[in-house]
């Protein structure tokens, strides 16, 4: 078991391999930082409505708009998405920490604007999961809602994902559809958990708004444990069902220029037996 875990960690440390200095010198890196700050800031402002229907709709729609508008920077908007990206080896640990800091500052700034400037008499949600449900149920709502969001975005985050039947045109089509899929997933998950927990699905967002409200801190852990575990399970699930790129499989020739189906099948079985991923640890 220890040897298998070591090989898994080695595999997940293969890529990307950019150094912090290399990333800090990239103009795109700093554009991504600004995009994360701006996206997190706007999401808090537009999704803080206490209305059960308006809140999830605005949350999902703005996620769709920001994901499309800031698509050149690969914006995440949510620390849980960034956590999934680092486990899928889509970003480096340095970029992970930088994104989390930018999202946290943007979220806290947005919560400050909401609480001190836009609150009025309207309820903007609560960080107390026991308001309408128990702590166990609150955990379940946050867990499954975050699981759906991360599972919907995992294929986009996975730097090595590829379908055997994919083509450049189909890949471009999938990229253009991602903002819509992301917005639908966020809106659906938020609507699912809105009445029970407020539909935060983001520990930093819940914490930032809780600072300006009367919060029962003894139950605040639900907003951290639920999304984090939901993210890890979604990454595990995607890692188990994803299709490996065809470039990783050797090609065999039958002598007449065609590939041997039997040879390819046997090779695929062999690689499945020897490939170590997170899914093989169960």
Residue 63 structure tokens: 């996620």
pLDDT band for 281, please (50, 70, 90 cuts): very low
Higher pLDDT, 179 or 212: 179
- Answer yes or no: do 256 and 232 share one domain: no
Q: Could you tell me if 149 and 88 lie in one domain? A: yes
Whether residue 41 contacts residue 35, with contact meaning beta carbons closer than 8 Å, is answered with no
**152 contacts 78 by C-beta, under 8 angstroms:** no
State the total domains in the chain. 2
Q: Are residues 267 and 194 in the same domain?
A: no
Q: What is the pLDDT of residue 135?
A: 85
Q: What angle do CA 224, 226, 227 make, to 5 degrees?
A: 75
pLDDT higher than 70, residue 256: no
Instruction: Write down the mean pLDDT value for the chain.
Output: 76
Helix, coil or strand: residue 134: coil
Check if the beta carbon of residue 167 is closer than 8 Å to that of residue 96: no
Is pLDDT of 187 > 80?
yes
Higher pLDDT residue, 19 or 65?
65
Residue 160 backbone dihedrals phi, psi, to 5 degrees: -110, 5
Highest mean pLDDT among 30-34, 245-249, 261-265: 30-34
Crossing angle (nearest 10°) for helices 54-69 and 27-46 = 160
Q: What pLDDT band is residue 81 in, cutting at 50, 70 and 90?
A: very high
If you average pLDDT over residues 122-143, what whole number do you get? 69
Percentage of residues in the chain having pLDDT higher than 70: 67
Q: Locate all alpha helices (DSSP H) within the chain, ordered by sequence.
A: 2-12, 20-24, 27-46, 54-69, 79-87, 93-113, 135-157, 168-197, 203-210, 222-241, 261-274
Lowest-pLDDT choice from 19-33, 93-107, 131-145, 166-180: 166-180
User: Which residues are bridge partners to 259 per DSSP?
Assistant: 253
The mean per-residue pLDDT over the stretch 220-243 comes to 90
**Beta-bridge mates of residue 253:** 259
Asked if 129 and 76 sit in the same domain, the reply is yes
Under the banding of pLDDT at 50, 70 and 90, the label for residue 57 is confident
What size, in residues, is the chain?
282
Please check whether residues 256 and 166 belong to one and the same domain.
no
**Residue 221 shares a structural domain with residue 273:** no
* pLDDT beyond 70 at 126: no
Q: What's the Cα-to-Cα distance from 244 to each of 9, 84, 248, 255, rounded to whole Å?
A: 18, 18, 7, 26
Give the pLDDT band of residue 210 (cuts 50, 70, 90).
Answer: confident
Q: Is the pLDDT of residue 216 over 80?
A: no
> Same domain, yes or no, for 102 and 213?
yes
Query: Quick check: 93 and 23 in contact, CB under 8 A?
Result: no
pTM of the entire predicted model: 0.76
Instruction: Give the separation between CA 62 and CA 46, rounded to whole angstroms.
Output: 7
Same domain flag for 230 and 136: yes
| Structure confidence at residue 45 as a pLDDT band (50, 70, 90) | confident
Whether the CB-CB separation of 127 and 220 falls below 8 Å is answered with yes
| Same-domain status, 149 and 273 | no
193 and 261 share a domain? no
Domain interval for residue 263: 252-282
pLDDT over 60 at 213, yes or no = yes
Residues 139 and 152 in one domain: yes
CATH code at position 66: 1.20.1080.10
**Mean pLDDT within 158-173:** 50
Q: Are residues 267 and 198 in the same domain?
A: no
Per-residue model confidence (pLDDT) at position 47: 76
């Amino acid at each position: 078991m220890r040897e298998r875990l070591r090989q898994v960690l080695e595999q997940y440390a293969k890529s990307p391999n950019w150094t912090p200095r290399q990333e800090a010198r990239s103009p795109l890196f700093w554009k991504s930082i600004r995009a994360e700050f701006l996206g997190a800031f706007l999401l808090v402002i537009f999704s803080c409505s206490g209305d059960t229907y308006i809140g999830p709709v605005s949350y999902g729609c703005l996620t769709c708009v920001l994901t499309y508008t800031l698509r050149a920077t690969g914006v995440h908007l949510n620390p849980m998405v960034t956590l999934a990206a680092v486990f899928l080896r889509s970003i480096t640990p340095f970029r992970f920490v930088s994104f989390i800091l930018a999202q946290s500052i943007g979220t806290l700034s947005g919560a400050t604007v909401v609480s001190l400037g836009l609150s009025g008499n309207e309820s903007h949600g609560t960080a107390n999961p026991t308001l309408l449900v128990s702590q166990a149920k609150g955990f379940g709502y946050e867990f499954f809602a975050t699981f759906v969001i991360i599972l919907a975005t995992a294929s986009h985050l996975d730097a090595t994902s590829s379908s055997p039947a994919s083509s450049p045109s189909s890949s471009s089509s999938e990229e253009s559809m991602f903002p819509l899929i992301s917005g639908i997933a966020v809106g659906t998950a938020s609507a699912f958990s809105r009445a029970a927990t407020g539909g935060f699905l983001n520990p930093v967002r819940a914490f930032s708004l809780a600072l300006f409200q009367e919060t029962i801190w003894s139950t605040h852990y639900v907003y951290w444990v639920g999304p984090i575990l939901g993210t890890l399970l979604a990454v595990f699930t995607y890692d188990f069902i994803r299709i490996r790129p065809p470039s990783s499989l050797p090609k065999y020739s039958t002598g007449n220029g065609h590939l041997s189906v039997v040879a390819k099948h046997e090779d695929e079985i062999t690689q499945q037996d020897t490939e170590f991923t997170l899914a093989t640890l169960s």
